[in-house]
Amino acid sequence: MSLPSILLAFAPAAWTSPAPSTDFYAIRVGRAETVSKGTIEHAVILVEGGKIVTIGEDLPIERGIPIIDRPDWVVMPGLVNAYSRLGLDGDGGDEMNPDVHAFDELYPASEDYAEVVKFGVTTLGLYPAGNGIPGQAVVVRPTGNTPEEMRVHDPAYLKIIMRAASNSKKLLRDGFKKADEYDAKEKKAREKWDKDQEAKKKKAPAKKPDEKVEEKKVEEKKGEEKKEEAKDEPKTEKSDAKTEEATYTPSEPEPKTKPFVDLRSGKLRALVSISSAAEYLHLLDAIDKEKFTWDLRVPMTREIDLFYVTDKKTYDLDQDGIGDRHVRVVMEPLITLTPGTMRQRNLASELARAGAKIVFIPRNDTLLDHERWLTHTAEMVNAGLSRDIALRALTLEPAELLGVGERLGSLDKGKDANFVFLNGDPFEPTTRIQAVVLEGRVMFGEVGL
Amino acid sequence: MRRLFRFGGNLALIGLALLTTAELSNARAFQEGGEQGGGDAADKSGDAEGDKEDGPEHFFAVVGADVYTGTGAVLRGATVLSRNGKIKAIGYDLDLPPDTKTLDATGLRVYPGMVAISSRGLVGNATGDFEDTIDPFNSRMVLGLATGITTTGTGNAAVKLKRFSVKDAVVNDKIFSALAWSARNPPGKRTLREKFVTATEYLRKYRDWEQKVKKDKELKEPSKKGVDVTVLAVLKGEAKAKFNAGARDDLLGIARLAQEFGFRPVIEDCQEGWTIADELGRAGASVVLTPRARLPKREDLTRPGGSSIENAAILHKAGVPIAVVPATESVDLGGIVGRDIMALAIEAGFAVRGGLSEEAALASITIVPARILGISHRVGSLEVGKDCDLIVTDGDLLHYETFVQYAVVDGKQVYDKEQELFFAHIRPRAPNEAPEKKLDRGESEVKPAEAKPEETEVDGEKTEEKAEEKKVDEPEKDKKEEKKDGDSNDHDGGSDESGSDEGGADDGS
Amino acid sequence: MVASRDLAAPAAATRSHGPRKSQPTREARSASALGVIGLALLAACASSRSKKPDLSPLDPNERGIALTCAKVLTVDGEDRVFTPGLVLIKEGRIAYVGAPREIPSGYERLDLQGGWATPGMVELHSHIHTGSWGDINDMVLPINPEFRASSALRPGNREIRLACAGGVTTLFGIPGSGTSLSGFGVLYKSKTHAGFDDVVLKDPGGMKVAQSYNPERRAGDFGATRAGLGWLLEDVSDKAIAANHEHRVDPALANLQRVQSRDLPVLIHCAGSDGFADAARMWKDKYGTRCVLSHGCFDAHATAQYIVGLGAPVNAGPRTMDYFSTRDGAITGTVSKYLDAGAKDLSVCTDSPVMPQEELFLQGSMSARLGADSYTMLRACTIHPARVFGIDDRVGSLEVGKDADLVIRTGDPLDPRSRVDLVLIDGEIQYDRARDGQWF
């Protein structure tokens, strides 16, 4: 029992089994920061097969169950860095490369992964390099011998860079124009298919299916812009039809078109990088009436002017502010200044109050700043950011951004057993990480199992 | 067209009869005369307005000020009312709709927003594609508004200083064909003339074909091969020929070229223009000049020459429209005062020094540049139907102590001296109000940490950080961060510099 | 009329910078600060001020002009303004200034309807004596106590003529700031057509030192750093002081000896708070010279309290605004910062040709725009620079007995719209817009 975990602690890179551990053990700590349901004092967690089986206050633990018994420790979910290029060193293109996958760039042998786990990071969203529309990010666990072993979820998001330059808007519009072309082509093909079906049915008359086809046509006209992939449509009526008749199979879009088709259908989400208030408005202008899920990446520069667009009201914007859209903002925990002054701002706080969701990432994509990630976040809490939002911004919010919010990011029953054990409150300056558990396996620290 | 007819209707209905409608009839003539450049812009704006009409109506009024309309009329203690960004009425005892946003400007003056014929940086760092690059949060835009500028020519476009919005700011983006004519480059002069000859010939053929093709549909369109498109645009009236020339010989050459080929040139610089004012007047030239420009007279020539402070006045007298621009076309915060774009009105004051009338000086920074930019049907003076772009000042616009107190663009207040840090401390409007408090819009977001037990344990790591901090801070003093270029490969580039532990992030300790 | 606001509202001016109050204080302060020579000079000034008007008719061989103006701004000790006013000029000096009265016989009469008469402006930091850039530094040695700008003076050159047409009548033409002890400048008048002897007011008029920025990266092997420069300056100063103690004249240091004995003023090029404070410490606190701190740009205004406390006068320009150093988001008028700190005898400069010499007044108007009192700014262009350079017995205000250096404008002298119609220097018309055409 304890032998392998000791081995792990000393040589995590030597870990070979990709399969989650089937070990069964209990954890008893002074406090658990669940993130989803607040704080549990005297928390007990049962872990089995790399998942949380149960969590609660002072739960009885059966005799004989191995136990991590640290009443002076605090446990919180493993940290999720949703925006990183740790361990990647590929080059990126400059313009339209939405079909690039960061997954293809993965280099499991990188020593960075073994290091970053020690700093509490159990999930990484890795994005492809480049300008313009550089491609799709992948969610990985920072351990494993092959890219497949590292992969948790793919794709996570399509990275789009929006700058106050004519090129940026054009790229985005071009992408959706291609999707338009695909839709038009598909619509024609679908109509033809429908006609053929009708003709077939006339040969072998059956009234009911006939009506249904008509119904469907009306529906299609209503949602002109919407995709007609009957297969993926969650609507129940259609699935009814599916069982009865032959299904139309849409053609596969071109690789560079597909991400935009997927954006529209909701299969893929976008993370748009902007660096100023102006670029946010240009983004809205470029998006116009297009509907897809997007969040924001905003690198915190010292005098960033993002406060102008946190909400619509303060500066009487003619468009929604970031908060009004309730999008996520991926940002560094950094105090900024009102341009030209020494007036400090806590943009995370401002954005959160306006309705945006905060996703923190380390100040720089270096190991050092991963190590100081909690400390830097604590500075934002000291400067007025709500503690709950700060905790979420390190765990559940990035998990949701990456599309793995159902699976990890909080201490809940059924979720991955990703834990960071601390010797005190996460935001106290003297607190240090004591141990890290990834999908049930002790990756770092002496837990006494 | 539709829009212009409505103007007429408005005027008749309201029946204020307070304003000269010169500019509007001017705009009409402008469009009917087939000057495509201006016409395009007008159509665009017409559409924009059409959109607005479907939505809710927004009313905005400036009340109580002395209104200098820029058309010669001055209305003491009058009201300017706008509806959806356009001026609906100017006058007395107006019925303000119930939800009108009102700005009390009693004791102040209202002028049309200034039009900077040329500037750099007010709408962002880019020099083109302003629809996609405008930065409406730019501090230089605020300083432009603080100067009183509400529209600026920049590059080949005319852009409004529409703060907080990236929509509908570009009024006209195909204004000029930049041409060169210089005694220093005789072959260039010959080539340009040849281009005009070729383009004129083509245009004649084209017009001929246009007539005949109605009858004979098979007739082939004349070939455009070898025709210079920029010159053709000038001859077709789609763009204005713009020259940058100061020497008398060059100016004469341009004047003759213009007369020969029948176009009205826009001439920048024009330092020796005063010596041949009549020729420039006859050629229908418009001039963009800096009254204070200094050019020594060539001592080897007996004819008049060199710069003259009277340049603007003399040219104006000869019927040449004058637009004034300061020596530095961008905002200069380096310390020299009175020579950059923020001194636009001061520069116009120097034209008055040279003998230009105060009215013409005001026109040289409002309606005349608007005309040169082909946007005078929308901005440059306060008239019913035009865009509600105005400034509220605490005195004579051309006086050196006068400050812009408010600026309004498209019927929306976008600048208030007391609300911005730049000038709020200088002769505050209401000294009783603590400006600090008013200025704190969403600022000081950083709340000090609650009293915490002192850190007992300062480990090596922490102290190391602090040492680093100091090092970072020192050279920071003069360093200006400009982080606008494209994404770098890792981490957007942005955070790398800013990410160091500086600023107030450590204020808790 | 052009000026919608009367700049000439000395009543308002007296509120904050009242001459009656400030004058004795200033003199008391100066008296304590200056040595015997300074006191003697002051006495001379005082005597010139108390001179009685001369209303006698002209002798047949005497020349005189009687100017009747819409307004006369004397900028004298009492800030008197006469609306309308009369100035009598006799043999190049002012014989009477005041309300219109009967003009004694023999005077040529000039009736300047609507004209505003002010004293000719005084510039303390100017390099146009050579007619262009160049000829202002040797760039070989960092310390040049024998260097004289007057060697390069070209009277009546184009720049000087423009200065005259802009109403600047007295200038301190100085070596550039490329070397540390840059040399000695010449005080001269901007007569448009005159020979050398006729234009020079004082040669040397004072010393020029460059103590920060420019000289640090130039000239010589010593003094590549500011500390090195400081050492060089103190070294040479100490030698001059030693010579003074021994009552001997070192031929190489003769003029520097005069600076150290407070016979000559010294204008110091220093900008930035560090350089500014350093210059004040050395030249005022340590050596007690009649120093004037020139430039005071960038963040130098942060030292305003210290400078004012030492009693070192400021000569501000060509940059009179600061945005980047305060980091409070405000555009700060540096001049108002000095004035708010209580600076006396503050003057402005163009550092021409950095800014055109004829636009000296604009340094005043722009400082007024950025918060300074406009009447004080008129003083900053006239009597203040004259006073700190000890030539206020001759120029800087319209008072009986002083040089008849007058500028007639169409209005407010700080308003760019006001044209200069007439400039008289030593009672002679140097520029007449009607006669010469408008130069500026």
Q: In B, which residues are within 8 Å of C438 by CB distance?
A: 308-310, 354-355
The C-alpha atoms of residue C426 and residue C188 are separated, in whole angstroms, by: 12
pLDDT for B445: 53
Q: Which residues of A touch C328 (CB under 8 A)?
A: 341-342
> Any residues with CB less than 8 A from the CB of C70 and at least 6 apart, and which?
C83, C84, C112, C113, C114, C115, C116
Residue with tokens 């772009």: B389
Tokens of C228: 């090195």
Q: State yes or no: pLDDT of A394 exceeds 60.
A: yes
Which burial class, exposed, middle or buried, applies to B299 when counting CB atoms under 10 A from its CB (0-12, 13-18, 19+)? Answer: exposed
Calculate how close chain B gets to A447, using CA atoms only, in Å.
Answer: 24
**CB of C60 less than 8 A from some CB of A:** no
CA distance C367 to C319: 10
Q: Would the CB atoms of A344 and B166 count as touching at under 8 Å?
A: no
What pLDDT, in 10s, does the model give residues B417-473? Answer: 999 999 999 999 865 444 444 444 445 556 655 544 444 343 434 333 333 333 333
**What is residue B477's predicted lDDT score, i.e. its pLDDT?**
35
Distance from CA of A340 to the nearest CA of C (A): 5
CB atoms within 10 A of CB B66: 17
CB pairs B-C closer than 8 Å:
99
The whole-angstrom separation of Cα A338 and Cα B357 is 43
What phi and psi, each to the nearest 5 degrees, are found at residue C130? -85, -15
Query: Chain C residues with CB inside 8 Å of A338's CB?
Result: 329
pLDDT, tens digit only, all 440 positions of chain C: 343 444 544 443 333 333 333 333 333 333 344 344 444 444 444 444 458 999 999 999 999 999 999 999 999 999 999 999 999 999 999 999 999 999 999 999 999 989 999 999 999 999 999 987 677 888 888 899 999 999 999 999 999 999 999 999 999 999 999 889 999 999 999 999 878 789 999 999 999 999 888 887 665 567 788 888 899 999 999 999 999 999 999 999 999 999 999 999 999 999 899 999 999 999 999 999 999 999 999 999 999 999 999 999 999 999 999 999 999 999 999 999 999 999 999 999 999 999 999 999 999 999 999 999 999 999 999 999 999 999 999 999 999 999 999 999 999 999 999 999 999 999 999 999 999 999 99
B421/A341 CB distance under 8 A? yes
pLDDT band at A207 (very low <50, low <70, confident <90, very high): low
Q: Return per-residue pLDDT of chain B as tens, 509 residues.
A: 333 333 333 333 333 333 344 444 443 333 333 333 333 333 333 344 444 456 789 999 999 999 999 998 999 999 999 999 999 999 999 999 999 999 999 999 999 999 999 999 999 988 889 999 999 999 999 999 999 999 999 999 999 999 999 999 999 999 999 999 999 999 999 999 999 999 999 999 999 999 999 898 899 999 999 999 999 999 999 999 999 999 999 999 999 999 999 999 999 999 999 999 999 999 999 999 999 999 999 888 899 999 999 999 999 999 999 999 999 999 999 999 999 999 999 999 999 999 999 999 999 999 999 999 999 999 999 999 999 999 999 999 999 999 999 999 999 999 999 999 999 999 998 654 444 444 444 455 566 555 444 443 434 343 333 333 333 333 333 333 333 333 334 444 333 333 333 333 333 33
CA dihedral angle for residue C381, residue C387, residue C393, residue C399, rounded to 10 degrees: 50
For chain B, what is the total number of helices (H) and then of strands (E)? Answer: 16, 17
User: Which residue(s) pair with C108 in the sheet?
Assistant: C65
Amino acid letter for position A331: M
- C320 and B292 within 8 Å at the Cβ level: the answer is no
State pLDDT tens for residues A72-100: 999 999 999 999 999 999 888 889 999 99
Locate the chain C residue with the closest alpha carbon to B356.
C417
Tens digits of residue pLDDT in A213-233: 554 554 544 444 444 444 444
B338 touches chain C (CB under 8 A): yes
Please give the Cα distance from B474 to B471 (Å, whole number).
6
Contacts (Cβ under 8 Å, ≥6 apart) of C251: none
Q: Nearest chain B residue to C1 by CA: give it.
A: B358
CB contact under 8 Å between A341 and C323, yes or no, is: no
Each residue of C336-372: b (16+ CB within 10 Å) or e?
Answer: bbbbbbebbbbbbbbbbbbbbbbbbbbbbbbbbbbbb
Inspect the interface and report whether the beta carbons of A276 and B484 lie closer than 8 Å. yes
Contact A248, A233 (CB under 8 A): no
List the single residue in C328, C374, C438 with the smallest CB-CB distance to B310.
C438
What are A266-276's pLDDT values in tens digits? 999 999 999 99
Chains touching A, CB cut-off 8 Å, 3+ pairs: B, C
Report the alpha-carbon distance of residue A159 to residue B389 in Å, rounded. Answer: 40
Burial class of residue B450 in the structure, from the number of CB atoms within 10 Å of its CB (0-12 exposed, 13-18 middle, 19+ buried): exposed
Q: Which two tokens mark B467? A: 């040492």
**Does residue C247 belong to the interface with chain A, where contact is any CB pair within 8 Å?**
no
Q: Point out the residue among B353, B355, B425 whose CB comes nearest to the CB of C416.
A: B353
The DSSP code for A285 is H
Written as one letter, the residue type at C308 is: V
The candidate with the shortest Cα–Cα distance to B63, out of B104, B109, B111, is B104
Q: Which helix (H) or strand (E) covers residue B65, if one does?
A: strand B59-68
As a whole number of angstroms, the distance between CA B483 and CA A301 comes to 8
Binned at pLDDT 50, 70 and 90, residue A202 comes out as confident
Residue from B460, B461, B448 nearest B509 by CA: B448
Containing B8, the helix (H) or strand (E) segment is helix B2-14
The residue with greater pLDDT, A388 or B7, is A388
Q: What is the DSSP letter of C132?
A: S
When computed from its CA atoms, the radius of gyration of chain B, rounded to whole angstroms, is: 27
* Three-state SS at B77: strand
Cβ distance of B338 and C359 shorter than 8 Å: yes
Of B127, B132, B142, which to mutate for an interface test with A (greatest number of A Cβ within 10 Å)? B132
Q: What is the pLDDT of residue B453?
A: 44
Question: Which of A302, A349, A383 faces B481 most closely, judged by CB atoms?
Answer: A302
Q: Cα(first)–Cα(last) distance of chain C, in Å? A: 19
Q: What are phi and psi of C265, to 5 degrees?
A: -80, 165
Q: How high does pLDDT run on average in chain B? A: 81
Which residues in chain C are closer than 8 Å to B334, comparing Cβ atoms? 319
Question: Chains near B, with 3+ CB pairs < 8 A?
Answer: A, C
Rounded to the nearest angstrom, the minimum Cα separation between C7 and chain B is 10
Alpha-carbon distance C206 to C385, whole Å? Answer: 13
Instruction: Read off the pLDDT of residues A127-158 as tens digits, 9 standing for 90 and up.
Output: 999 999 999 999 999 999 999 999 999 999 99
Q: Name every chain B residue with its beta carbon within 8 A of the beta carbon of A310.
A: 442
- What is the number of other CB atoms lying within 10 angstroms of the CB of residue B433? 11
- Euclidean distance between CA atoms A52 and A40, whole angstroms: 15
State how far the Cα of C54 lies from the Cα of C96, in Å rounded to an integer.
6
- Per-residue model confidence (pLDDT) at position A410: 98
Distance from CA of B348 to the nearest CA of C (A): 9
Separation of alpha carbons B33 and B43, rounded Å = 15
Residues C325, C318 contacting (CB under 8 angstroms): no
B327 burial level (CB within 10 Å; 0-12, 13-18, 19+): middle
Q: Which of residues 143-162 of C touch B (CB under 8 A)?
A: 158
